[in-house]
Amino acid sequence: QTLHELKQRLKEPFAFHSNDNLSANTKNAIHRLLLSFSRNRASVDEILALPSVLKSRSARPEEREELRQCVAAMAHFQTRLSVFQKAAITAIVRHLPAHMLMKQRAVFNALDSHSRGYLSLEELEQAIDRSGIEVPSGLSSIVKGVDSDGSGLVEYTEFLAATIDKNLLVQAPLVRVGFDTFCPPGAP
């Protein structure tokens, strides 16, 4: 094919077969890989973080280290922060720009093997075990401490709140978001 013909084919919408076994996240990533405007195109890290890609390769040392750091951050979040601090961090995380969450999103997507937006205790245990990291003995307590709504699951926002670098959250506009969550502007 000529370059012109190839460009024309890429302009046509890409469609998946109805009987494919791809998750919504995988389909979205494939669509984003095919975008012509590079700013919106999926990055290599995003593609490598997809569960379907992770299943086909073993965890690299840096991925194991990121997971280990996330588990340690979750344990710290669960044991060392007050309920108020956890709620404030969760409120702030909801307003963070995507570029500040890339590492945590990649780890979460790798753990969320069913692409449901939450992690069960069993999923978390299995993922940690598969990575070669020792499963913490208090993982059940850690999950309960991170689970702010009592669902028994670690939802995406709860995971972000527990694993985000807390030093990123001390920027004035972000602190204001946390403050406004508990004391809306104009409240006495």
pLDDT in tens, the chain (188 residues): 566 666 565 555 555 555 566 667 777 777 777 666 667 777 766 666 666 555 544 567 777 888 888 888 888 888 888 887 888 888 888 878 888 888 888 889 888 878 889 999 998 988 888 887 888 888 999 999 999 889 999 999 999 999 988 877 777 666 777 667 667 667 65
What local confidence, expressed as pLDDT, does residue 131 receive? 81
What local confidence, expressed as pLDDT, does residue 79 receive? 83
- DSSP code string of 85-142: HHHHHHHHHTTS-GGGSHHHHHHHHHH-TT-SSEE-HHHHHHHHHHHTPPPPTTHHHH
What local confidence, expressed as pLDDT, does residue 154 receive? 94
pTM of the entire predicted model: 0.63
Whether the Cβ atoms of residue 35 and residue 41 lie closer than 8 Å to each other: yes
Contacts of 173 by beta carbon, 8 Å cutoff, 6+ apart? none
Q: Is 66 helix (H, G, I), strand (E, B) or coil?
A: helix
What local confidence, expressed as pLDDT, does residue 162 receive? 92
What local confidence, expressed as pLDDT, does residue 56 receive? 44
What local confidence, expressed as pLDDT, does residue 57 receive? 45
Q: What share of the chain is helix, strand, coil (3-state, %, to 5)?
A: 65, 0, 35
Give, in degrees to the nearest 5, the angle at Cα 34 between 28 and 39: 90
CA distance 19 to 113: 20
What local confidence, expressed as pLDDT, does residue 18 receive? 56
CA distance 89 to 85: 6
CA distances from 103 to 9, 81, 168 (A): 34, 22, 13
Burial class (CB in 10 A: 0-12, 13-18, 19+), 29: buried
What local confidence, expressed as pLDDT, does residue 128 receive? 84
Whether the Cβ atoms of residue 170 and residue 96 lie closer than 8 Å to each other: no
Reading the block at residue 5, the tokens are 């013909």
